[in-house]
Every structure is written in structure tokens, then in C-alpha cells.
Amino acid sequence: MESVEETIEKNKAQKAFYNKKKKNIPTRIWSFIREKGLKDIRKELGILEQSYTLHKQWLGDFSDKKILDLGCFAGNALSVYLAENSNQYIGIDLSDKGIEKLNKKIAHISTAKGMAIDFFSEDFSDTHFDIIYAYGVLHHFKNVDNLVQRLDEKLAPNGIIISYDPLKTSFPVWVARSLYRPFQSDAAWEFPFGRKTLKKLEQAFTIKETRGVLGTAKWYFLYQLLPLSKEKKLAWGKRAHQKDWERSATSRKHLLTCMQLNLLLQKK
């Protein structure tokens, strides 16, 4: 099992990777599919907007809250919103280049700051965060036990975690990722959630709500190949997404067919 010291050492390589963003050809291809393919589908079906709206609902009124924006790089879709509306905001990332850009975006906010620091480093001593916002971050940690312990240490009593991460529990997705992984240049810190990860998160925290996306809707890209009108294709995609959205809130079985997961956790 990977130790905290090993994670910190590996994160130095991760920092260099995200500062330079040098990807091999297979990783570039996968990134293109993910960013240009899946991202376009998520945008077209309203998945991204609905997820961000959900996160805001989960946040509620946080004007008196201390917030950690974990692994935010130069700022995610909600970083400035979090900084402007919280009592105290700290955004952290391994990349000093990313944090430099973030600090320019939030320079007008006296209660907000970005820090280029490792989440596991002893130098990161801030605690008692009411909210940890982790968009596309938690799956970067191989040792889930160490991760949940660190998250728990940083949270205030009754604090919450809002996350969005990839799942590998759908069989076709698992096959695709397994075929790609040997060629993946960032494989050392890419660990999409499996059943074991979800179980450990559930043991450590109270799962308040889940919303999976791209379950049935992941086949939208194939449905687009059918000789149907654009309107009919889009209508099918939106119905499929809404089915994923609603059923994944109550059915773990359906949740596991999804490619990505919105998750609300609370400290026990």
C-alpha cells in the first residue's frame, strides 16, 4: 500500500506533469476523446450545467464558511464563486503555475488565497474547513485510506465534501480504460472510483447524496450515428441523461453503470 511519503514523492512528478503538460500520443488521444468528445456531450445534454447547479444547491448559504478548493489548478468552474461568497477561501494545487493564475482571478477578494502546496504536506497546516470542494481530484489518490484520513483531519465537525470524479464500474468503460492504461502517461495518479473506493468512502463518511452521469447516456455518441433527425437524437440523449440523474440518486446498481459521479459526503 502506498505510504504518505510515497504519495508526496509521486506528487512531485505530478506537479511537473501539470506544469508542462507533456502527454504521450495515447494520452493525447484519450484526452481528445474525453475533452472534445465527452465534454461536448455533457455540454449538449446539459450535464455540466446541471452538475454545477447541484453543487451550488449542496453548498447552500456558505457566507460564514471556511472553504478548501482542493486541486483547483487555475480555478475550476466554481472557484471564483466560492471565493466571493465564503467567509474564507483557500484554493490549493500542486502546480505553482496554476495557482499563479488563480491568484490573479481572486486578487480582488481579501478573504481568498491560492497556495501551491501538497495536500499531504505537513506545511499545509490549515484545518477546520466547513466545505471541501474537490472537482475531478479525489481519484488522483491511490491510497484511499490515507486520503479519507487526511480529508477527515481537515474537515470541521459536520463538514461536507462535494466531489466530481470518474467511475470505472461500468464494464465497457472498465475495458476501455484497461486497454488504454498501459500507454497512459499520467497513470501513476489516475485511479477512477471502483466499488472498493466507494465502500471506503461510505465507511469513512456519511453519503448524503449521489448523482451519476453518462450511464445510459454514454451511448449517445453511438445514437448520433443513426439516420434520425438531430432533434430526435438530442431528445433521446436528454431523456437518457435524466434517467441516469434520477435513478442514480436511489439505485446503487444504476449508479455503477455511470461514467462520472457527483458525490456529497459529510463528516461522521
Rounded Cα–Cα distance for residues 119 and 124 (Å): 7
pLDDT at 30: 62
Q: In this prediction, what percent of the chain has a pLDDT beyond 70?
A: 92
pLDDT at 29: 65
**pTM (predicted TM-score):** 0.92
pLDDT at 205: 98
pLDDT in tens, 49-61: 999 999 999 999 9
Lowest-pLDDT choice from 48-62, 150-164, 181-195: 181-195
Instruction: Average the pLDDT over 218-225 and give the result.
Output: 89
- pLDDT reading at 39 higher than 80: no
Lowest-pLDDT choice from 33-47, 194-208, 236-250, 254-268: 33-47
36 forms beta bridges with: none
Mean residue pLDDT of the chain comes to 92
24: CATH? 3.40.50.150
- pLDDT reading at 222 higher than 70: yes
Confidence of residue 246 (pLDDT cuts 50, 70, 90): very high
Confidence of residue 103 (pLDDT cuts 50, 70, 90): very high
Confidence of residue 46 (pLDDT cuts 50, 70, 90): very high
- pLDDT reading at 35 higher than 60: no
- pLDDT reading at 36 higher than 60: no
- Please give the residue that has the higher pLDDT: either 189 or 32: 189
Instruction: Average the pLDDT over 91-103 and give the result.
Output: 97
Instruction: Average the pLDDT over 21-26 and give the result.
Output: 61
115 forms beta bridges with: 92
Domain of 198?
4-267
- pLDDT reading at 180 higher than 80: no
pLDDT at 26: 60
Number of domains in the chain: 1
